[in-house]
């Protein structure tokens, strides 16, 4: 069976941007692949190093939401990155194969630095973020990596590292293919990237009232003021939500919006209703998960992940001709 690996940082509750950006594919791939899904707590540490004591709680919250959307621990391996120390060893070995200018060119780091006002304060660990990610991925030698669009530059570097390693030490790693979702990018209610830190996210287990309130505040076409003004759905947040959850109705809405046959207030009301119907299955699933033992799931997952990771590291050390006392 081919393998899949992906991960998310433990930021706590997941939002519809996470869901439509990547998790839909995580759920789908469980039927066809051997899936490894990791909580990337070391990655979270690159920016949240002073909040490490919160991670235990955040990890549990994150995994509970994964289960809520349909990730199934019976079929997939769910684990926490820091439980599999082999990732750290591979990260160290890979760190020799990447130059500092290559890491500084990474667009994601530029964005993080700007958003978090970290100019001149980039740590060694933060700069190496994509090298650690390459280790996470390649240690499971997967064929596919379902991710959000924002992660594409990291996967490009992963593939470069795989090529470089294979060239130096012999064929060891596949060059995994990134898989994006159909919707790719779901904007936050203010039109920016949906992110917990921007306060513009809709969470998958939020109450119907809260969802409606947020959608009613969402950013639409600024040129559509009156109901019968013709609208431009392409820049409209509400339209983006609608296309994600109601594929069949999208074309009709687009036509009505452009023709000025529907006003934004009515459109938002309809969209809230459809969104709440969509989220209802998660709310129900969450009820069923009340007694779930996340700790045991992650413990068993870590054991399975380690078994695989250990095997890869043995191959890696042998190919490199590294010292072994045995
Ligand atoms: N960088 C990813 C994010 O912020 C998380 C991540 C860590 C990841 N390791 C990974 C994603 C490996 C895919 C594969 O969401
Ligand atoms: Fe967006 Fe709907 Fe308003 Fe069109 S009618 S601009 S799709 S909210």
Residue range 206-219: average pLDDT? Answer: 97
Q: What pLDDT score does 260 carry?
A: 95
Percent of the chain with pLDDT over 90: 90
Give which of 275, 273, 150, 149 is closest to 204, Cα–Cα.
Answer: 275
pLDDT of residue 303: 98
Average pLDDT estimate for 247-267: 94
Same domain, 141 and 47: yes
Residue 259's domain is classified under what CATH number?
Answer: 1.10.240.10
Return the pLDDT at 119: 82
DSSP string, 236-296: -HHHHHHHHH-GGGHHHHHHHHHTT-S-HHHHHHHHHHHHHHHHHHHHHHHHHGGG--HHH
Distance (Å) from CA 232 to ligand 2 centroid: 7
Same domain? 254 vs 311: no
* Within a domain: 192: no
Of the residues 110, 144, 182, 193, only one is catalytic, namely 193
Per-residue CA distances from 152 to 118, 149, 188 (Å): 22, 6, 20
> In terms of Cα–Cα distance, which of 171, 144, 128, 134 is closest to 36?
144
Angle of helix 129-138 versus helix 86-94 axis, rounded to 10: 120
Q: End-to-end CA distance of the chain, in Å?
A: 32
Pair 212, 176 in one domain: no
Q: Tell me, what CATH number does 171's domain have?
A: 3.40.50.620
Whose atoms come closest to the Cα of 136: which ligand? 1
Mutate to test the pocket of ligand 2, among 221, 222, 242, 265 (most ligand atoms within 8 A of CB): 221
Does residue 263 surpass a pLDDT of 90?
Answer: yes
Q: Tell which one of 26, 35, 43 to mutate to probe ligand 1, the residue whose CB is within 8 A of the most ligand atoms.
A: 43
151 and 69 housed in the same domain: yes
DSSP H stretches of helix in the chain: 16-18, 24-29, 41-48, 55-69, 86-94, 100-104, 107-115, 124-127, 129-138, 152-169, 208-217, 237-245, 250-258, 264-288, 294-320
Give the sign of the dihedral formed by CA 199, CA 202, CA 206, CA 211: positive
pLDDT of residue 121: 85
Is the domain of 173 the same as that of 264? no
* Ligand 2 lined by 238 (C-beta under 6 Å): yes
Is 121 catalytic? The answer is: no
* Integer CA distances (angstroms), 22 to 69, 159, 277, in order: 12, 19, 21
Residue 194 lies in a domain: no
Ligand nearest to the CA of 155: 1
Residue 197 pLDDT class (50, 70, 90 cuts):
confident
Determine contact, residues 145/174, Cβ cutoff 8 Å. Answer: no
* Candidate list 60, 196, 273, 304, residue with the active-site label: 196
In this predicted structure, the answer to whether residue 94 has a pLDDT above a threshold of 80 is yes
- CA gap 99, 102 in Å, rounded: 5
Closest CA relative to residue 261, chosen from 215, 224, 216, 229: 229
The answer to whether residue 325 sits within a structural domain is no
Average pLDDT score over the chain:
95
Task: Name the residue with the closest Cα to ligand 1, atom 15.
Answer: 8
The reply to whether 83 falls in a domain is yes
Does residue 234 lie in a domain region? yes
Q: pLDDT for 110-144, tens place per residue?
A: 888 888 888 888 999 999 999 999 999 999 999 99
212 and 151 in one domain?
no
Closest ligand 2 atom number to CA of residue 232: 6
The ligand that comes nearest to the alpha carbon of residue 126 is 1
Instruction: Report if residue 195 sits inside a domain.
Output: no
The pLDDT of residue 111 is 86
Asked if residue 211 and residue 242 are part of one domain, the reply reads: yes
Catalytic residue among 85, 110, 114, 281: 114
- Does 224 qualify as catalytic in the annotation? no
184 pLDDT more than 80: no
Query: Does residue 17 lie within any of the structural domains?
Result: yes
Residues 119 and 240 in one domain: no
Whether residues 60 and 100 share a domain: the answer is yes
284 is annotated as an active-site residue: no
Mean pLDDT for 319-326 is: 94
d(CA 279, CA 234): 24
Instruction: Say if residue 231 is in the same domain as residue 168.
Output: no
Q: 12-40: per-residue pLDDT in tens? A: 899 999 999 999 999 999 999 999 999 99
Residue 127, domain member (yes or no): yes
**Residue 183: its pLDDT value, please?**
87
Lowest mean pLDDT among 6-10, 101-105, 120-124: 120-124
Q: Are residues 300 and 283 in the same domain?
A: no
The string of pLDDT tens digits covering residues 265-321 is: 999 999 999 999 999 999 999 999 999 999 999 999 999 999 999 999 999 999 999
Q: Mean of the pLDDT values across residues 138-153?
A: 96
Ligand 1-lining residues (CB < 6 angstroms): 5-9, 40, 43, 133, 136-137, 145, 147, 151
**Are 315 and 256 contained in the same domain?**
no
Mean pLDDT of the 199-210 span: 96
Residue in this structure with the two tokens 């530029």, named with its chain if needed: 110
* Higher per-residue pLDDT: 101 or 185: 101
Rg (CA), the chain: 21
Number of structural domains in the chain: 2
Q: In terms of residue numbers, what domain contains 11?
A: 3-186+293-320
- pLDDT of 72 reads 98
């Amino acid at each position: 069976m081919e393998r899949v690996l992906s991960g998310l940082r433990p930021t706590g509750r997941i939002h519809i941007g996470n869901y439509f950006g990547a998790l839909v594919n995580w759920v789908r791939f469980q039927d066809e692949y051997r899936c490894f899904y990791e909580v990337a707590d070391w990655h979270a540490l690159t920016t949240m190093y002073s909040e490490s004591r919160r991670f235990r709680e955040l990890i549990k919250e994150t995994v509970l939401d994964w289960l809520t959307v349909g990730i199934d621990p019976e079929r997939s391996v769910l684990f926490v990155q820091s439980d599999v120390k082999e990732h750290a060893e591979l990260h160290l070995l890979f760190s020799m194969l990447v130059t500092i200018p290559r890491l500084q060119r990474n667009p994601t780091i530029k964005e993080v630095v700007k958003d978090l006002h970290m100019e001149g304060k980039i740590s060694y660990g933060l700069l190496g973020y994509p090298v650690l990610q390459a280790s996470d991925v390649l240690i499971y030698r997967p064929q596919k990596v379902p991710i959000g669009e924002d992660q594409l530059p990291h996967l490009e570097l992963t593939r470069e590292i795989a090529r470089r390693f294979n060239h130096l030490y012999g064929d060891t790693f596949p060059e995994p293919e990134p898989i994006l979702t159909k919707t790719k990018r779901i904007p936050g209610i203010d039109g920016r990237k949906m992110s917990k830190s921007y306060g513009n996210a809709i969470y998958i287990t939020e109450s119907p009232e809260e969802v409606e309130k947020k959608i009613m505040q969402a950013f639409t076409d600024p040129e559509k003021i009156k109901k019968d003004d013709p609208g431009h759905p392409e820049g409209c947040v509400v339209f983006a939500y609608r296309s994600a959850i109601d594929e069949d109705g999208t074309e009709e809405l687009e036509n009505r919006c452009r023709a000025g046959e529907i006003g934004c207030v009515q459109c938002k009301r309809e969209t809230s209703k459809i969104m709440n119907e969509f989220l209802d299955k998660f709310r129900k699933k969450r009820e069923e998960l009340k007694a779930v033992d996340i700790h045991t799931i992650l413990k068993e997952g870590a054991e399975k992940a380690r078994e695989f990771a250990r095997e890869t590291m043995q191959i890696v050390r042998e190919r490199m001709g590294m010292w072994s006392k045995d």
